[in-house]
Structure 1
Amino acid sequence: MDLEPREGVHNLYGVPDQAERAWKIAVGSPAPHAVPYAEMIADGASDEGAALIQVQLEDGLVTAVAWAHCDAQPFTIVGGLTSDDAAFARARTARWRHDSRPGRPLLAEVGGPLRARLLEAGFTEATTVRSYHCHPPGAPEPTRPAQFLDCLHDGPPGEFVYWLDWQHDGYRYDPRRTDAPGRPPRPGKGTHPDGDYYLRLAHDLRRGTFGHPWEQTLTVWGRALPTAIAGDLTELLGEPVRRRN
């Protein structure tokens, strides 16, 4: 049988029981990081390549963490490393180059000893960056309006809609806080299937939609949802092929 690795550098998704320890090490490491670990996890980590989380294991325990992400940018962004050890920096750089999507260069915003280590690992200096903190008025919202579904960390409570695509990244989002000026777009590829099974549903399954790619059908369920959108769906797709009460 397969045993979890105990030494070396590995993908965190290969050692999921170490997620909590990795969190404590990454969040507790000296700042600043270009992308704080807690912020990246709040957006939702993904093992399909949007979030690249690598951990150093010694005797089965995480001793160092490195993270990068590449979900919507033309670059793979190095979020941070908890160690400026030269061997760790070289190994992470090589792995990120291997895992990054084709055509996306690595971009790091660092200073101090880690800058020297990344230059030794093959980075070249592009420019000087100066960052400022933004403090918008009002209390910050306690949850993200849209996130990747994350199998390593618990998600937020509340009434979120879940969008699921078989064998691909899923999302949770608040429909009241997406697709509006100044807000992120509503995640997911759509509702009607284009080759995969698509689901949008409430956390307790009391209402939702299911797109079936083979049948080319869209199933709608819930106490009020089918009635509320029946006219629009009939106009778009024709009369229902099945009804269940």
Structure 2
Amino acid sequence: MGAARTLAAASGPHASTLADFEADGGCRYGQRDAAVLLERGEVVAAGWAEVAAGTDFLLIGGLTGPHAEFPGAWRAMVEPPEHYHRHLHRPVPYCVAEAAGELRTGLIAAGFAELSTVRTYAWDPPGTPPADRPVGLIDPGAEDRLWDRLEREFAFDPHIAKLPGFAASTPCATWRLRSTLTDEPDLIVRPALVANTRPGGRLVWLDWQHTGYTFDPHRVGFPGAPDWPGEVCPNGDYYLYLHPDLTFGTFGHPWEETLTVFGAPLLAAVEGQLTALLGDPVRRRD
């Protein structure tokens, strides 16, 4: 992506910079994409876009030139096979770009319709803004140490036959998941994670054998902010939301098809709603 970064830095202004797009992470599988256009093996253009959660719109964060090839390629992203991207509940029929000059002319020629004009304002809220980004990739060393602790202290054993392969600290409860679930567990667990994390604190989302993220739950998941990294329910791999000191968290088991919640405050906050949604826990330790 080095050539893409160079092109992005030399062009613009963009609705969102490629640097910000990358820093916020690629945690929304199938809903974010940075792509390059090649000619004779050389990168000649770059573009990045993401689906605005809960809307019918794919938002183009930036294009380094008036290349209609990118929206065409992104169409496959916003109309994926239902069996693969279960988190996309419907096709996303609209593609939106903020563009002026040659880029605007090229996009209109490619079939875009001009809907409105945009005026940009500078926002200077009171107080000191946070120095860190809301979401970022977890340091590989810190991630390795977390997995090591999970193996030592939680008996984490990734195996399709050795079940459950995870012994959470008490109190904890485990529920059986249903294949028909969409985002209902997220709507229950995420507010509880926010409530149990101090302002300015960080949580971790781990995805076995994939990139992990560290994030401030108070600064994600609302308009103008990055989306939550990951999901509560496993989708082919072990998914975990954790406090960095492992005092509370969730563990999604892809092979047992269960969700475990541990830590007294977090469990107390979600137990009633998860039981109403999923039925009585299949395991519980106090």
Q: Post-superposition shift, 1:65? A: 0.9
Q: Which residue of 1 aligns with 2:103?
A: 114
Q: Post-superposition shift, 1:126? A: 1.3
Query: Is structure 2 residue 205 aligned with structure 1 residue 163?
Result: yes
Structure 2 distance, partners of 1:82, 1:106, is 17
Contact 1:162 1:172 in 2 (8 A): yes
Q: Post-superposition shift, 1:163? A: 2.5
SS at match of 1:116: helix
Structure 2 distance, partners of 1:211, 1:129, is 43
Contact 2:240 2:249 in 1 (8 A): yes
Query: Is structure 2 residue 130 aligned with structure 1 residue 141?
Result: yes
Unaligned 5+ runs, structure 1:
1-18
Q: Post-superposition shift, 1:208? A: 4.4
Contact 2:59 2:97 in 1 (8 A): yes
Q: Post-superposition shift, 1:175? A: 4.1
Q: Post-superposition shift, 1:61? A: 4.3
| 1:137-162 residue CA offsets vs partner (Å, 9 max, x unmatched) | 33332223346x69xxxx9xx97322
Q: Post-superposition shift, 1:123? A: 0.7
Query: Is structure 2 residue 32 aligned with structure 1 residue 90?
Result: no
Contact 1:54 1:67 in 2 (8 A): yes
Q: Post-superposition shift, 1:228? A: 6.6
C-alpha spacing 1:204/1:165, structure 2 compared with 1 (3 Å): same
C-alpha spacing 1:233/1:108, structure 2 compared with 1 (3 Å): closer
Q: CA RMSD in A?
A: 4.3
Q: Which amino acid aligns with 2:98?
A: E
Query: Is structure 2 residue 54 aligned with structure 1 residue 76?
Result: no
Q: Which residue of 2 aligns with 1:201?
A: 242
Structure 1 distance, partners of 2:17, 2:281, is 49
Structure 2 distance, partners of 1:230, 1:98, is 39
SS at match of 1:38: helix
Structure 2 distance, partners of 1:131, 1:234, is 45
Contact 1:52 1:68 in 2 (8 A): yes
Unaligned 5+ runs, structure 2:
80-90, 144-199
Q: Which residue of 1 aligns with 2:215?
A: 173
SS at match of 1:211: strand
Contact 1:161 1:201 in 2 (8 A): yes
Greater length-normalized contact order (CA 8 Å, ≥ 6 residues apart):
2
Identity %: 39
Query: Is structure 2 residue 190 aligned with structure 1 residue 212?
Result: no
Q: TM-score, normalised by structure 2?
A: 0.55
Contact 2:49 2:59 in 1 (8 A): yes
SS at match of 1:78: strand
Q: Which amino acid aligns with 2:44?
A: T
Query: Is structure 2 residue 13 aligned with structure 1 residue 24?
Result: no
SS at match of 1:55: strand
Query: Is structure 2 residue 78 aligned with structure 1 residue 100?
Result: yes
Contact 1:234 1:240 in 2 (8 A): no
Structure 1 distance, partners of 2:235, 2:27, is 22
Q: Which residue of 1 aligns with 2:21?
A: 40
Structure 2 distance, partners of 1:57, 1:195, is 32
Structure 2 distance, partners of 1:56, 1:142, is 34
